[in-house]
Amino acid sequence: MPVTIHDVAKEAGVSTSTVSKVLNHWTTISSDTTARVNAAIIKLNYTPNARAVSFARKSTRNIVYLTSLGKDEAYRNPHMFDIMCGVHKELTKHGYTLTLVDTSDEAFPGESVHNVIDGKYSDGLIIHGSAVTKDLSKLITEQDYPHIIIGHPGFESNLCWIDPNHALAGQFAARHMLLCEYSSVAFIGGKKTDYISTQRLKGFVGGMYDYGYYIPASHIGYTDSSITESYEAAYSMLTDRRPPRAIVCENNTIALGVVKAIENLSLKIPDEIALLLFDVYPYSNIIFPKPTVIDINVYDMGIQAGDIMLRKLKNPSLFVQSYTTLPILIQGQSTQPLRKQ
Amino acid sequence: MPVTIHDVAKEAGVSTSTVSKVLNHWTTISSDTTARVNAAIIKLNYTPNARAVSFARKSTRNIVYLTSLGKDEAYRNPHMFDIMCGVHKELTKHGYTLTLVDTSDEAFPGESVHNVIDGKYSDGLIIHGSAVTKDLSKLITEQDYPHIIIGHPGFESNLCWIDPNHALAGQFAARHMLLCEYSSVAFIGGKKTDYISTQRLKGFVGGMYDYGYYIPASHIGYTDSSITESYEAAYSMLTDRRPPRAIVCENNTIALGVVKAIENLSLKIPDEIALLLFDVYPYSNIIFPKPTVIDINVYDMGIQAGDIMLRKLKNPSLFVQSYTTLPILIQGQSTQPLRKQ
DNA sequence: CTGAAAGCGCTTACAG
DNA sequence: CTGAAAGCGCTTACAG
């Protein structure tokens, strides 16, 4: 038979209320009693029944992480799981648990959310941006349910969200290029309709402009993010009569195409052409020489999401909509070493 | 105020016991009463309080997934998360939830497991093989706690586990090569101490042998799984006086090195040299021509783990130790097309 | 076929 | 500083 609070109370010669108070660190208990109760707890190896606690307390100390969990999602979108790990880390630190809910295979995703909320499975909801629909938004807002969205939803709303600052990452790229004294820099990105690519480009162009450099249209490439198109974009820029001195690649696949073009033209990195990438993942580690990369610490973004969730639980009126996660620069050998730090 | 079972009972004009019985599909309730209760449930939009249910029932309908959830784990080991998604899928289907527990940052991982078990957080434990220690094994075995290990632990035990059959995958590779009528086939693998690589090699060599083909030592390469060493291994085999007609690459990184050697020697795939890889992830999709791959459906392995867990909960004496997940062959253009299917 | 009542293991006003 | 008692929202023998 599992040991209960009654067993502990009997062992310590006190009431169950007193044991409960010791367990919850009430300050009104004498140190003598506290000691006796703790001794009994250790002697009996007592662990409170989490179900009973959560039931009596009317709070679960559990948060639900809502996202798409289909087959191959882990390969397609590992960042999402890295964020999840960050969230988990922060919640665990404060005694909360994390439960997963999938949105990938139901007709109406609101159904499971409705269950989570009305079934009181959790105290709050952390939702990956890709899983947010307008229906969901309405449901959460109406119920005024504690939540935080990771990655801002594609529409205006009163939801709370955080998001990495991709434009700022673009500015970082510009700044680094100028520190390396490259003024003629090209940018090869994804489609014009791609949100992240557009933000990075915007930040980059703006950043260069702030220092007095203007990027001509011929030095901006839009691709479908395939190796083939990126190769072609880079090849044509590099064989132009005024080739760029450096290329910023908006993602890893683009970088592969660009590197291939550079190899085929037998150019030396970084002496003849410099390279800067966004994201470490998934190919930066198979590019030689080791590339200089601007990365986003999404694990840290998960930690922030967890932290905000916890703060919201204490203060339900807390409202957050912000670009919160800063990019970091990882210096490699694909750009000139800086004169001094 | 949330609506409770009492509200439903009052609305339907019955007792709470009766409502509970309808909720739990007891067969003793008249269809007339059932209809009235269901109508009340819909009218009031009632959802049972999961906490109360789990508490009263003394079963949580929750399973804990125990694994390492540190930073970058999602990039290092996405398979683990794919498995997790499979587990989640199967559990959800049967009304169970999945909660995550991290093993990556504690001095004694048994601590959190002890909590999970004694705190009655869940009905069972699914543990990723990499997280299993002897202490943990002892704890679980002593408590006779429902569990299933994914990937067999590195030591003998009475734990229940399932694991993909890597040796069988090796046999598949041999069989496919012979169907393509390649008899001179090389194998480039990881270190001799690598478990998966060794199993795949063993299955491959054995499979070839079963059909009467013997792989000479010169056609077996051991590497540190780096592009450089794989390149060198392939280069030396291909420039040998009796080069292989096909190469089996034990993982994706090795394949990159091998492809590079093939390119540098200007050999044509598959006409001059054929290629077969293990694993789709992470680089098979950047290799041209699209390679023929032997993959393991680890998502499906997660589903199986979930299924076994559920069966164990019904029948605690169920004991499983088996190589359960079958490899699949994905035909690409790096081997001859087969004569007929 | 239905309901009254005990109980799941805690927490928390409230009284002392 | 401590304890008796009510209550969290269900389930489940048990009686009828």
Q: Do B83 and B153 share a domain, yes or no? A: yes
Per-residue pLDDT tens over the stretch B206-241: 999 999 999 999 999 999 999 999 999 999 999 999
Do residues A248 and A186 lie in contact, with contact meaning Cβ atoms separated by under 8 Å? yes
Contact residues, chain B, for A281 at CB < 8 Å? 75
Domain membership flag for residue A43: yes
Q: Which is more confidently placed, A204 or B1?
A: A204
Per-residue pLDDT tens over the stretch B128-174: 988 898 888 998 998 889 999 999 888 888 999 999 999 999 999 99
Distance A17 CA to C14 C1' (A): 13
pLDDT of amino acid A327: 93
Contact residues, chain B, for A60 at CB < 8 Å? 51
Q: Do A141 and A242 share a domain, yes or no? A: no
Facing residues of B189 across strands? B222
Domain membership flag for residue A86: yes
In this model, does residue A341 exceed pLDDT 60? no
Nucleotide nearest to A57 (CA to C1'): C11
Nucleic acid strand C: bases within 7 A of protein CB: 1-5, 7-13
Look at chain A and report how many structural domains it folds into. 3
- Are β-strands A274-278 and A292-296 bridged in parallel, bridged antiparallel, or unpaired? parallel
Domain membership flag for residue A337: no
Nucleotide nearest to A53 (CA to C1'): C10
Residue A224's φ and ψ, nearest 5 degrees, are -90, 15
Separation between Cα atoms, residue A168 and residue A196, nearest integer Å: 11
Q: Do B225 and B246 share a domain, yes or no? A: yes
Domain membership flag for residue A333: no
Nucleotide nearest to A6 (CA to C1'): C9
Per-residue confidence at A108, pLDDT binned at 50, 70, 90?
low
Angle, helix A166-179 to helix A195-210, in steps of 10 degrees: 40
Residue showing tokens 């091998």: B258
pLDDT of amino acid A244: 97
Contact B81 A74 (CB under 8 A): yes
In this model, does residue A251 exceed pLDDT 90? yes
pLDDT of amino acid A1: 67
pLDDT of amino acid A118: 84
Distances (CA, A) of A5 to A23, A40, A79, B114, B286: 10, 10, 43, 18, 60
Per-residue pLDDT tens over the stretch B244-254: 999 999 999 99
Domain membership flag for residue A332: no
Domain membership flag for residue A341: no
pLDDT of amino acid B109: 61
| Domain containing residue B43 | 5-48
pLDDT of amino acid B178: 95
pLDDT of amino acid B148: 95
Share of chain B above pLDDT 70, in %: 97
Q: Which is more confidently placed, B29 or A154?
A: B29
Distance B54 CA to C8 C1' (A): 9
Nucleic acid strand D: bases within 7 A of protein CB: 1-5, 7-13
B32 touches strand C (CB under 7 A): yes
Domain membership flag for residue B218: yes
Q: Do A149 and A195 share a domain, yes or no? A: no
Do residues B78 and B281 lie in contact, with contact meaning Cβ atoms separated by under 8 Å? yes
Distances (CA, A) of B111 to A2, B116, B135: 18, 9, 10
The arithmetic mean of pLDDT across residues A178-202, rounded, is: 96
Per-residue confidence at B110, pLDDT binned at 50, 70, 90?
low
Identify the CA nearest to A246 among candidates A203, A204, A280, A296.
A204
Q: Do B160 and B304 share a domain, yes or no? A: yes
Per-residue pLDDT tens over the stretch A54-66: 999 988 899 999 9
Q: Do A121 and A22 share a domain, yes or no? A: no
In this model, does residue A110 exceed pLDDT 60? yes
Q: Which residues contact A60 (CB under 8 A, 6 or more apart)?
A: A54, A120, A121, A122, A123, B51
**Residue in chain B lying closest to A118 (CA):** B47
Q: Do A291 and A232 share a domain, yes or no? A: yes
The DSSP line for B102-132 is E-TT-S-THHHHHHHHHTT--SEEEEEGGG-
Per-residue pLDDT tens over the stretch B33-75: 999 999 999 999 999 998 899 899 988 899 999 999 999 999 9
Q: Do B157 and B304 share a domain, yes or no? A: yes
B56 touches strand C (CB under 7 A): yes
Query: Which residue is the nearest neighbor of D2, CA to C1'?
Result: A18
Domain membership flag for residue A331: no
Q: Do B186 and B205 share a domain, yes or no? A: yes
In this model, does residue A105 exceed pLDDT 80? no
Q: Which amino acid is at B284?
A: S
Q: Do A89 and A197 share a domain, yes or no? A: no
Identify which of B2, B47, B69 has the shortest CB distance to residue A115.
Answer: B47
Indicate the average pLDDT of chain B: 92
Identify which of A47, A69, A286 has the shortest CB distance to residue B115.
Answer: A47
Read off the CATH number of the domain in which A23 is found: 1.10.260.40
Nucleotide nearest to A120 (CA to C1'): D9
Contact B48 A227 (CB under 8 A): no
Identify which of A73, A120, A281 has the shortest CB distance to residue B75.
Answer: A281
Q: Do A306 and A198 share a domain, yes or no? A: no
Q: Do B237 and B285 share a domain, yes or no? A: yes
pLDDT of amino acid B338: 80
Contact A88 B69 (CB under 8 A): yes
Read off the CATH number of the domain in which B290 is found: 3.40.50.2300
Share of chain B above pLDDT 90, in %: 77
Do residues A242 and A212 lie in contact, with contact meaning Cβ atoms separated by under 8 Å? no
